[in-house]
Chain A
Amino acid sequence: MTDRARVNLWRVAILVALLGGWEWLTGIKAISRTPGLYWIDPFFISRPSAIARRFVYLASGEVRLSLWQMALSTVQSTLWGFVVGVSTGFVAGLVLGRNDRLARVLEPYIIAFNSLPRIALVPLVTMIFGFGLLAKVVLAWTIVFFIVFFNTFQGARAVDADLIHSARFLGAGERQIMRTVIVPSALAWTFAALTPSISFALIGVVVGELLGGESGGGLGYLITQSLGTLNAADMMVALVSLGAIGIVMALGIKQVERRLLRWRPEYRTERA
């Protein structure tokens, strides 16, 4: 058996054990044939079989707002927040990373804003942008921006001075140095921030959705709705969907990273 097959086998085995254990434990009654008394009550954590049934139901066309529409709304806001956050954070990181004085001037403001708990911004963002897509994107942005910014900033500062010198001796102007030395050099640092950025974009969006109600839509709305009806199964459907979205997005980033950083030794051997 190859190593990869063995790893996959273990992964599946853990999944089966988890789901099986969950299903089994939530099925044992404390007092036989008395309804409602369980050792582990499925009322709170539901059961895989019940979650699967709700999943099928919510994904079907029978509900007004299907699971797909909610997931799409969450994914859309997350991607927007991610793209806007990464691009602005990257540019800001490059600019401040190569401009020492400006970086020193802005340092206290950046630290102050970054230390704000983002959730504290939610009411303000809601006041300004309402409950829709824009508010969610803004919330995701406030987190992603700083993660990408700090990494790119470090990366732009860590550029080897001898690489810049050698570019200069080869005839490079300032813009050419930026394009051919600083950007590719900093990119490796920026990429390290992208996988956490996706998770944090998702956090920002879901926080927006939790408070946004129906006009916010998305899986966060499914969660608050389920809380209203004390429906653990629906909540689990939302959580599993969020996890799946997170995995797919992280894998997508890994692919882009592998392509753009293929010059790095650690990506060479993985091609096969």
Chain B
Amino acid sequence: MDRASFEVLEGEFVAIVGPSGCGKSTILNMIGGLVTSSAGAVLVDGAPVTGAAPRHVGYVFQKDTVFPWRTVARNVALGLEYRGVAGPERARRVREAVALAGLAGFEEAFPATLSGGMRQRVALMRTLVVDPEILLMDEPFGALDTHTKLVLHAELLALWEARRQTVVFVTHDLSEAITLADRIVVMTRRPGRVKMVHEVKLTRPRDVIALRESDEYAREYGRLWHVLGEEFAYPQGGHPQGGPSK
């Protein structure tokens, strides 16, 4: 990555889009302290990120990271368990979160019995139940089918409207970025640079289904598609600085 500089405001929903291999996930991992940058820095509230997994940061991975040996309820309880929240308080918060995720009745189910969408709901609620101020999401719905994805978009937006965490959401799905984000950071192909930061002028709260048919959505999509299209247009071998970005 190179000169990938942008700002995220408190309570803002920012999406990062770009071709694969451009370092989208690396940016997220830098914010989460999982990798350190060779040059440059990530500042949160003015202070550089040091050490992995800062306390106020929640991370939802693309991969299924629900613990298969724990039931839904005990997966959701993990963060509270780690932070020493116990007894009726923990039980209450878990119950609420499970209900909020639409998983009531599945408390005692093991993940292997759930669909991919349900598992990702568990992962999301498990992260939200400890109330992170910053939520990092790395293509969390990338493995889901279009319909399930839309349902989860609606659910994520509803949850976010209620709490207004600062969200950094990595995706390569442009429609997903437009549906969810306030601003979209468009990255160039490797070596990843910030090509532009685009403000999504769609009002909130958004209806994820109706939105797709609106003219505003089509306009946003058209503009971004054009910008992003330039990045995909280059012949892959024609770039002098290939090689892995991580």
Spell out A's residues near B (CB within 8 Å): 160, 162-163, 165-173, 176, 180-181, 184-185, 187, 261-265, 268
Residue of B nearest to A265 (CB): B112
Residue B121 interfacial (CB < 8 Å): no
From B63, B69, B70, B110, A162 is in contact (CB under 8 Å) with B63
Residues A263 and B127 in contact in the complex (CB < 8 Å), given A166-B65, A171-B55? no
Residue of A nearest to B111 (CB): A263
Residue of A nearest to B112 (CB): A265
Assess whether B53 is in contact with A163, with CB atoms less than 8 Å apart. Answer: no
> Would you mind naming 13 contact pairs between A and B with Cβ atoms under 8 Å apart?
A162-B61, A162-B65, A163-B65, A163-B67, A165-B34, A165-B52, A166-B123, A169-B53, A170-B126, A176-B81, A184-B69, A185-B69, A263-B68
Q: Which residues of B contact A165 (CB under 8 A)?
A: 34, 52-53, 59, 61, 65
Q: Which residues of A contact B53 (CB under 8 A)?
A: 165, 168-169
Chain B: interface size category: 20 to 34
Residue B57 interfacial (CB < 8 Å): yes
Chain A interface helix/strand/loop/mixed = helix
Residue of B nearest to A171 (CB): B82
Proximity bits, B52-76, A CB within 8 Å = 1, else 0: 1101011101010101111100000
Q: Which residues of B contact A184 (CB under 8 A)?
A: 67, 69-70
| In the bound complex, CA of A165 to CA of B67 (Å) | 12
Residue of A nearest to B83 (CB): A171
Assess whether B110 is in contact with A167, with CB atoms less than 8 Å apart. Answer: no
5 nearest CB pairs, A to B: A170-B79, A168-B53, A171-B82, A166-B65, A169-B59
Assess whether B61 is in contact with A166, with CB atoms less than 8 Å apart. Answer: yes
Assess whether A169 is in contact with B127, with CB atoms less than 8 Å apart. Answer: yes
From B32, B70, B81, B113, A268 is in contact (CB under 8 Å) with B113
From A169, A172, A185, residue with most partner B Cβ within 10 Å:
A169
Residue of A nearest to B32 (CB): A169
From B58, B63, B78, B123, A180 is in contact (CB under 8 Å) with B78
Q: Which residues of B contact A166 (CB under 8 A)?
A: 59, 61, 65, 123
Residue B181 interfacial (CB < 8 Å): no
Residues A263 and B34 in contact in the complex (CB < 8 Å), given A162-B61, A167-B78, A170-B82? no
Chain B min CB distance to A198 (Å) = 23
| In the bound complex, CA of A168 to CA of B65 (Å) | 12
From B63, B110, B127, A262 is in contact (CB under 8 Å) with B110
Assess whether A172 is in contact with B82, with CB atoms less than 8 Å apart. Answer: yes
Assess whether A170 is in contact with B78, with CB atoms less than 8 Å apart. Answer: yes
Q: Which residues of B contact A263 (CB under 8 A)?
A: 68-71, 110-112
Chain B min CB distance to A171 (Å) = 4
Chain B min CB distance to A181 (Å) = 7
Residue of B nearest to A170 (CB): B79
Residues A176 and B67 in contact in the complex (CB < 8 Å), given A166-B61, A169-B53, A268-B112? no
| In the bound complex, CA of A173 to CA of B57 (Å) | 15
| In the bound complex, CA of A239 to CA of B61 (Å) | 55
Residue B101 interfacial (CB < 8 Å): no
Assess whether A171 is in contact with B79, with CB atoms less than 8 Å apart. Answer: yes
| In the bound complex, CA of A152 to CA of B207 (Å) | 50
Residue of A nearest to B57 (CB): A169
Residue of A nearest to B74 (CB): A180
Residue B130 interfacial (CB < 8 Å): yes
| In the bound complex, CA of A80 to CA of B222 (Å) | 72
| In the bound complex, CA of A131 to CA of B61 (Å) | 57
| In the bound complex, CA of A185 to CA of B112 (Å) | 15
Q: Which residues of B contact A172 (CB under 8 A)?
A: 78, 82
Q: Which residues of A contact B71 (CB under 8 A)?
A: 263
Q: Which residues of A contact B65 (CB under 8 A)?
A: 160, 162-163, 165-166
Q: Which residues of A contact B67 (CB under 8 A)?
A: 163, 180-181, 184
| In the bound complex, CA of A263 to CA of B108 (Å) | 11
Chain A min CB distance to B183 (Å) = 24
From B63, B82, B111, B126, A173 is in contact (CB under 8 Å) with B82
Chain A min CB distance to B83 (Å) = 5
Chain A min CB distance to B36 (Å) = 15
Chain B min CB distance to A94 (Å) = 16
Assess whether A168 is in contact with B126, with CB atoms less than 8 Å apart. Answer: no
